[in-house]
């Protein structure tokens, strides 16, 4: 964003008086002097910190916001949703705050800023204008019509008209002011002036504004109306025709001259060079929509050189998958702050899609059972994602390693994964279907806490959307049956995958083992057979800890069988799942997950 380097919001305290900004445990934020007196109260607490977590960040759109998150599902949460919700923000309207003699304002040149229903900044183009780059709205807008010719300003007046926008202005873009005039007079004086792109009429005053327009803003407090000068319907073609004919005749004259000389060869060489560079430039990957896919987060944009340095030129490989390879890196040697850098395969077209999917999905989240995304790189052909480092690797390595994982840790991992999925499905502002829950995508931190990762296949649902249709996603053995039946896809596909994962955690073995006896090869089938015949001890016969906790083993196996029901409507939601696992809801005996009539 091109804008002047000045403060667009301040505490309005004198220079030298402010000593420290305090954000205390009660949720108050204020500026104090050296004598500890309060100079300015930035945020005043409105909720109890016993019931809510609180945080304050400078968001991507320039607002400084205070967020709260309910600590429980109980009545103490009141009407607050189970998600991070905005409690306070400064400035109250950033569209009105950012403006200067130079610079584009809160949005790009020729665009205007307004606040949406959620009080977040929106950048839009006025009538007759379109974004230079819809993927990066901060580049501003351009006219989608031929501007008025200064040579034929009076002749083209009948080809132009005004589109009205109330409560809209581009402050400091004006070059002339007329006082005590009528709206018709204001229209006419702009119409006859080829430099006038917009006229603003308010309370008898008329401002003429030239292109490019800066500091665009819409707000009911502005008043008046903006008159945007545009061409009438179908006049663009007629206005172009004369100039195109002139250009064509000029081009023919130039070419006829060049053909008779050696200059023509140089011309062809330059033309070929231009075409090559143009095509090369078009192959560059699109930029991320930072204004739309990263709300309420602060993701760092790394350069490729930075990530090469962090990873020592991608020296230590942690793992690899379908979309790329993950490397270990270090942000700071002083603090031993390690990171995991996922380098997406530049040969796969899906790499660009996965980059956007991961940033869109995990970039919006904030939960202790999800891996935190720290930043990204989208430079040339390089697409990389930077995560916090998980020292204990994946659940697959822990669960299927040489030594048996502890029963209590497996229970802890099951609870953590369930809570993470519950958050994605029901507590996020945007509902997220992960689509690829499996042991390889559950990472373990220093305390062996489960952290869901790898959102490259995730599907985001709109606020009013509960299902979607999409191509098959996921990993064989964990994919729900509805993927293969052209049925609508809901959060229940994650419930199915978690059911398989839960059985693997209980039995400490893979869902499919080719070396096992024939009736035991597929774990889900074998587990149901053991449950039906009352032989659940066979599932954990070599696990002394689990054998001493058969009541919980039985409950978890019953819950898992409910999760993997072929009919998605029979599977409980992740909220019900968490309640069943924690004992808040009784678990009834499940039916056969794949009944004979269905398999036929």
Strand ranges, E, within 93-222: 112-115, 121-124, 129-131, 141-143, 160-166, 168-169, 174-178, 198-202, 205-209, 217-218
* Of the candidates 451, 445, 448, 442, the residue with the CA atom closest to the CA atom of residue 478: 442
| Percent of residues in the chain assigned helix, strand, coil, to nearest 5 | 30, 25, 45
* Of the candidates 478, 395, 477, 374, the residue with the CA atom closest to the CA atom of residue 434: 478
φ, ψ at 90 (rounded to 5°) = -135, 140
Q: Can you tell me whether residue 410 is helix, strand or coil?
A: helix
Q: Residue 579 and residue 598: Cα distance in Å, rounded?
A: 29
DSSP state, residue 104: -
Omega before 40 within 30 of 0, i.e. cis? no
Provide the token pair at 556: 């978890």
Going from the C-alpha of 79 to that of each of 83, 328, 435, the distances in angstroms are 12, 43, 30
Taken as a whole, the chain contains a residue count of: 600
What counts of helices (H) and strands (E) characterise the chain? 14, 27
φ, ψ at 403 (rounded to 5°) = -105, 150
- Which residues are known catalytic residues? 436
Omega before 212 within 30 of 0, i.e. cis? yes
> Could you tell me if 332 and 349 are in contact, meaning their C-beta atoms sit under 8 angstroms apart?
no
Q: Using alpha carbons only, how large is the chain's radius of gyration in Å?
A: 31
Kindly give the interhelix angle for 235-259 and 263-282, rounded to the nearest 10 degrees: 140
């Amino acid at each position: 964003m091109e804008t002047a380097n000045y403060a667009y919001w301040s505490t309005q305290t004198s220079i030298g008086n402010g000593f420290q900004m305090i954000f205390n445990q009660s949720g108050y934020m204020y500026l104090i002097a050296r004598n500890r007196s309060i100079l300015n109260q930035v945020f005043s607490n409105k909720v109890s910190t016993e019931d809510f977590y609180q945080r304050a960040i400078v968001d991507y759109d320039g607002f400084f916001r205070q967020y709260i998150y309910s600590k429980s599902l109980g009545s103490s949460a009141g009407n607050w949703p189970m998600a991070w919700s905005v409690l306070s923000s400064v400035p109250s309207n950033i569209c009105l705050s950012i403006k200067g003699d130079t610079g584009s304002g809160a949005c790009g040149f020729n665009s205007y800023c307004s606040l949406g229903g959620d009080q977040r900044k929106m950048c839009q183009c006025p009538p007759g204008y379109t974004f230079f780059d819809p993927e990066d709205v901060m580049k501003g807008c351009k006219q989608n019509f031929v501007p008025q010719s200064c040579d034929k300003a009076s002749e083209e007046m009948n080809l132009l008209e005004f589109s009205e926008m109330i409560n809209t202005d581009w402050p400091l873009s004006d070059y002339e002011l007329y006082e005590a005039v009528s709206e018709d007079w204001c229209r006419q004086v702009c119409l006859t002036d080829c430099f006038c792109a917009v006229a603003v009429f308010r309370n008898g005053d008329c401002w003429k504004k030239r292109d490019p327009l800066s500091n665009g803003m819409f707000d009911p407090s502005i008043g008046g109306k903006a008159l945007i000068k545009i061409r009438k319907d179908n006049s663009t073609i007629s206005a172009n025709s004369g100039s195109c004919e002139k250009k064509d005749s000029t081009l023919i004259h130039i070419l006829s001259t060049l053909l008779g000389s050696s200059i023509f060869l140089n011309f062809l060489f330059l033309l070929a060079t231009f075409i090559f560079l143009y095509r090369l430039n078009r192959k560059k990957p699109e930029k991320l929509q930072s204004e739309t896919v990263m709300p309420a987060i602060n993701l760092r944009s790394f350069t490729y050189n930075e990530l090469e340095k962090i990873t020592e030129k991608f020296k230590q490989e942690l793992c690899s998958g379908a979309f790329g390879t993950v490397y270990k890196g270090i942000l700071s040697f002083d603090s031993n702050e390690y990171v995991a850098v996922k380098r997406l395969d530049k040969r796969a077209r899906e790499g660009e899609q996965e980059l956007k999917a991961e940033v869109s999905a995990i970039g919006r989240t904030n939960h202790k059972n999800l891996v935190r995304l720290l930043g990204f790189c989208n430079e040339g052909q390089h697409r990389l994602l930077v995560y916090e480092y998980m020292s204990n690797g994946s659940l697959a390595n822990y669960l299927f390693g040489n030594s048996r994982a502890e029963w209590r840790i497996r229970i802890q991992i099951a609870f953590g994964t369930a809570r993470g999925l519950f958050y994605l499905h029901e507590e996020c502002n945007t509902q997220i279907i992960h689509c690829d829950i499996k042991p390889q995508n559950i990472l373990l931190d220093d305390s062996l806490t489960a952290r869901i990762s790898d959102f490259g296949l995730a599907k985001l649902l709109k606020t009013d959307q509960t299902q979607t249709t999409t191509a098959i996603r996921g990993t064989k053995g964990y994919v729900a049956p509805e993927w293969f039946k052209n049925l609508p896809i809901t959060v229940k596909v994650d419930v199915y995958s978690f059911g398989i994962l839960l059985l693997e955690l209980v039995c400490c073995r893979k869902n499919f083992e080719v070396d096992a006896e024939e009736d035991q090869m597929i774990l889900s089938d074998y587990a149901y057979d053991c449950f039906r015949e009352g032989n659940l001890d066979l599932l954990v016969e070599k696990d002394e800890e689990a054998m001493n906790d058969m009541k919980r083993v039985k409950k978890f196996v019953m819950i898992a069988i409910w999760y993997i029901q072929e009919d998605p409507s029979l599977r409980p939601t992740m909220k019900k799942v968490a309640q069943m696992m924690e004992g808040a809801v009784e678990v009834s005996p499940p039916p056969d997950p794949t009944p004979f009539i269905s398999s036929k």
